[in-house]
A and B are shown apart, each in its own frame.
Chain A
């Protein structure tokens, strides 16, 4: 109390005003000197809603969750000695499997391509339809929605939940809270578990996890994804969108006046005010200020304040408002998915325009097609063998007793087939060259070497090439090593390298 008494005397208030000053203590007096730089979390209690957009949201939610949880269980027969999981990123075996496609670490660019495709598709969708990613398909939205559904089943709808949270702790409150968090944790565990399955064989890792035989890394990532799912979907929710996610901050760069956005049509709604049955609608807006749009909002904002960072564009407020509009017998879609251009045209009774072809949508579409075409071409032309040749750096060449020169190479043959393949390696266009493999000098010089490479692995060979002095032109000669499939005799691939000699 002492400090409170001090302040009025400083500000020259008379003793009678002291009690008044005490009431205003936190708001005015202290507030003036120490504004709070930290905001308490205001819990959002979204009300259940039904309608057109809610149905779409349910549909997308079921589809996304089904894809995620069922994905790793889809089987795909690749023959013996290969995993039969359709979607698998095998980190230990260093292979990625996507149905009929199998990629090696050297081909990680396919995943880069997928990410670019995903990003550009997101840009295009955002340019056309606004934040539908945020509102419908983002994992944060999907799992938050699922967690809210559980919360509603156990604790009841908005009002019941608010009442429950205000109650002192009781048995009825405790079991509801425990039940909710238990179900949340179970869902989170299923989510973390499914994540692991994209990196290890699903049935095997499930059995290992349940019997306690999985590795530390497996349990760690299971725990990590279980924990983050529980925290982000159960507790953080809209805080993720507002404070953590960078996407809301820069997605506006993809939008223009033709982009759809969830918008309160102020020209129709204002002046807002409560409305009794039978009252005239003359001289006032359609908004009856029922706050239904605020109550259903998963991020707890008022859409009537205009476009804002926190709006994830899910359209649940449209469903809520349409309910009310139907009840008061006014036209639906006071809140609507509408572009800024059309929003301006409506009060002027101008025709609505839909302009899908704009410079940004064209650019995104072209990018999408180009990247997809490049990826498809790369995939179709993908060879099941690769040849890598590394010329020795020391020595660059060796002079032999008869004056001829020898160069050494390390040759790597990547056999991506599931069977042992015999290849033939030769140096084309150099009739005087003789080849031999490290450790096989006794076999004499060959024109063509036979290389056997084990299935699904890299064969490494030491190659020596010997050429008489008269065949050598200059200090460094371009040569081409050609790899042929021994069975068919067809050229599989080749590698351009050098043959070095003295100046």
Chain B
């Protein structure tokens, strides 16, 4: 409670009458318009609260009389964005890859969209950037099991690999040489030594290598070829290069021969629309290994 208003001797300004422990407060009055500006702001907030979502309730909230809703705005913007993409998607769905790649704008759209789609659908197995992991091929390198042309990638994407329920799926089956009794354990060991020598990963002068070569010529060349260079028609990997999907140490190679691997990739046709699959094919092709 103000007690005594007096004139401050130093400044000539009146005090407000407030005093605490001998300290007095000077009264430098605020201009009235400042106060009115404050009232105008209060009024503004009242109008705002009536127009837009404002007062929270227990289960709901006051939504405002304009019906404005930020989530609805986002949905509208998303559908507007989708509508603006429709022309590109239509073109992607209808054109062949040569025509798409002749259209720089369409290619840019496909690649930037493909990046997002890849992260959503493919990255869980093939990793970000398509770098792959053990059992999941690296899509950025230059080694392809089923072909690295854009059409081949598209075909793999649509129909998958060893995917049950898809008639056109990529299909091949390497026998389980040891498990099914086709080879004995020493024979498997010999073949592994031979296979490793093909890419220079193992010594070529072991006695088992010659034996392995003989078995290889009998059992493996049908798919992997006489020189072990593989066959893309059958998804048979090239055994002479430096890229090993399941590992290049001897234990892994023995395991592969003995038990076989037969990895599976889903068919995306039916799960994603044709334009999306084409965007993914273009993106994967552009990762650096496309042929």
Known: A239-B33, A394-B127, A401-B142. A37 touches B291 (CB 8 A): no
Per the 8 Å Cβ criterion, residues 418-459 of A in contact with B are 438-439, 441-442
CB–CB A32/B128 < 8 A? no
Q: How far is the CA of A442 from the CA of B291 in the complex (A)?
A: 7
Task: Decide if B208 is an interface residue (CB 8 Å cutoff).
Answer: no
Q: How far is the CA of A462 from the CA of B27 in the complex (A)?
A: 69
- Whether B33 contacts A35 by the Cβ 8 Å rule is no
Specify the chain A residue showing the minimal Cβ separation from B108: A460
A residues 381-424 touching B (CB-CB < 8 Å):
392-395, 398-403, 406, 408
Contact between B33 and A41, CB atoms less than 8 A apart: yes
Q: Are A438 and B288 in contact (CB under 8 A)?
A: yes
At the interface with chain A, which of B64-72, B183-191, B216-224, B235-243?
A: B235-243
Judged by DSSP, the binding face of B is loop
Q: Within B12-43, which residues are at the interface with A (CB < 8 Å)? A: 14, 16-17, 27, 29-35
Chain A CB within 8 A of B116 CB: no
Taking a contact as CB atoms under 8 Å apart, the answer to whether B2 and A41 are in contact is no
CA A265 to CA B224, docked complex, whole Å: 107
B17:A32 contact, CB within 8 angstroms: yes
Give complex CA distance A385, B17 in Å: 69
A71 to B238, CA, bound (A): 71
Residue A92 CB within 8 A of the other chain: no
CB-CB < 8 A to A462: which residues of B?
286
B290–A33 contact, CB under 8 A? Answer: no
Using known A-B contacts A35-B17, A441-B288, A462-B286, determine if residue A398 contacts B29 with beta carbons closer than 8 Å: no
What is the bound-complex CA distance between A279 and B29, given in angstroms? 43
The reply on B168 being an interface residue by CB < 8 A is no
Least distance between A450 CB and chain B CB atoms (Å)? 16
A35, A37, A39, A399: the one contacting B242 at CB < 8 Å is: A399
- Bound-state Cα–Cα, A394 to B101, Å: 24
Asked if A53 is at the interface (CB within 8 A of a chain B CB), the reply is: no
Does any Cβ of A come within 8 Å of B141's Cβ? Answer: yes
Checking A37, A398, A464 against B30 with a beta-carbon cut-off of 8 angstroms, the contacting residue is A37
**Once bound together, how far apart are the Cα atoms of A405 and B130, in whole Å?**
16
Known: A35-B2, A239-B33. Contact between A441 and B291, CB under 8 A?
yes
A243–B285 Cα gap in the complex (Å)? 65
Nearest to B200 among chain A residues (CB) is A403
Q: How far is the CA of A236 from the CA of B128 in the complex (A)?
A: 60
Q: How far, in whole Å, are A361 and B7 apart by their CA atoms in the complex?
A: 40
Q: B140 interface residue, CB < 8 Å from A?
A: yes
Residues of the B chain whose Cβ atoms lie less than 8 Å from the Cβ of A400? 141-143, 242-243
Distance between A306 CB and nearest chain B CB, rounded to angstroms: 12
Cα–Cα, bound, A438→B285 (Å): 9
B131 adjacent to A398 (CB under 8 Å): yes
Q: How far is the CA of A408 from the CA of B289 in the complex (A)?
A: 11
B16–A37 contact, CB under 8 A?
yes
Q: Which residues of B contact A35 (CB under 8 A)?
A: 2, 5, 14, 16-17, 27
- In the bound complex, residues from chain B placing their C-beta under 8 Å from that of A403 are 242
A182 smallest CB distance to B (angstroms): 23
**Cβ A439 vs Cβ B16 within 8 A:** no
User: B276 at the A/B interface (Cβ < 8 Å)?
Assistant: no
| Chain A 459-479: CB-based contact to B (< 8 A → 1; otherwise 0) | 000101000000000000000
Instruction: Report the count of interface residues on A (CB-CB < 8 A).
Output: 32
Judge whether B242 and A402 touch: CB under 8 Å. Answer: yes
- Which single member of A32, A392, A393, A406 contacts B5 (CB below 8 Å)? A32
| Distance between Cα atoms of A401 and B199 in the complex (Å) | 10
Q: Tell me the minimal C-beta distance from A43 to chain B in angstroms.
A: 12
Q: Is the CB of A38 within 8 A of B142?
A: no
Q: What's the nearest-Cβ distance from chain B to residue A396, in Å?
A: 9
Q: Is there an interface contact between A402 and B241, defined as CB atoms closer than 8 Å?
A: yes
Q: Is the CB of B29 within 8 A of A41?
A: no
Q: How far, in angstroms, from A236 to B37 measured CA to CA in the complex?
A: 13
Q: A400–B144 Cα gap in the complex (Å)?
A: 11
Contact present for B143 and A401 (CB under 8 Å): yes
Q: In angstroms, how far is the closest chain B Cβ from the Cβ of A470?
A: 14
Distance A41 CA – B29 CA, assembled complex (angstroms): 11
A113 within 8 A of B: no
Which single member of A40, A401, A438, A464 contacts B243 (CB below 8 Å)? A401
- CA A385 – CA B163 in complex, angstroms? 51
Q: Give the CA-CA distance A201 to B34 in the complex, in Å.
A: 38
Q: Of all chain B residues, which has the CB nearest A235?
A: B33
Docked pose: A239 CA to B33 CA in angstroms: 10
CB-based contact B31/A399 at 8 Å: no
Give Cα A408 to B115, complex, Å: 15
Please indicate the chain A residues that have their CB under 8 angstroms from the CB of B16 in the complex. 35, 37
Given A39-B29, A41-B33, A438:B5 Cβ within 8 A: no
* In the bound complex, CA of A36 to CA of B17 (Å): 11
Which of chain B's residues have a CB closer than 8 A to the CB of A393?
Answer: 129
Whether A398 contacts B141 by the Cβ 8 Å rule is: yes
B291 neighbours in A (Cβ, 8 Å)? 441-442
B35 touches A394 (CB 8 A): no
Q: Assess whether A51 is interfacial by the CB under 8 Å rule.
A: no
Indicate if the CB atoms of A408 and B140 lie closer than 8 Å: yes
Hey, which chain B residues are within 8 Å of A39, CB to CB? 29-32
Complex-state Cα separation, A462 to B289, whole angstroms: 13
Bound Cα distance from A165 to B116, whole angstroms:
69
Q: Are B138 and A38 in contact (CB under 8 A)?
A: no
Give the CA-CA distance A401 to B14 in the complex, in Å: 90
Expressed in whole angstroms, the Cα–Cα distance for A24 and B131 within the complex equals 90
Task: Pick the contact of A438: B32, B35, B129, B286 (CB < 8 A).
Answer: B286
> From residue B123, how far is it (CB to closest CB) to chain A in Å?
9
Q: Which residues of A contact B290 (CB under 8 A)?
A: 439, 441
- CB-nearest residue of chain A to B17: A35
7 shortest interchain CB distances as A-B pairs: A394-B129, A401-B241, A395-B131, A39-B29, A394-B128, A403-B242, A401-B143
Listed A/B pairs (19) with beta-carbon separation below 8 Å: A32-B4, A35-B14, A36-B29, A38-B32, A41-B32, A41-B33, A393-B129, A394-B128, A395-B127, A398-B138, A398-B140, A398-B141, A399-B242, A400-B143, A401-B238, A401-B241, A406-B141, A438-B288, A441-B290
Question: Which A residues fall within an 8 A CB radius of B?
Answer: 31-41, 236, 239, 243, 392-395, 398-403, 406, 408, 438-439, 441-442, 462, 464
**A37-B27, A38-B31, A464-B288 are known contacts; what are 4 more A-B pairs with Cβ within 8 Å?**
A36-B29, A398-B288, A399-B141, A406-B141
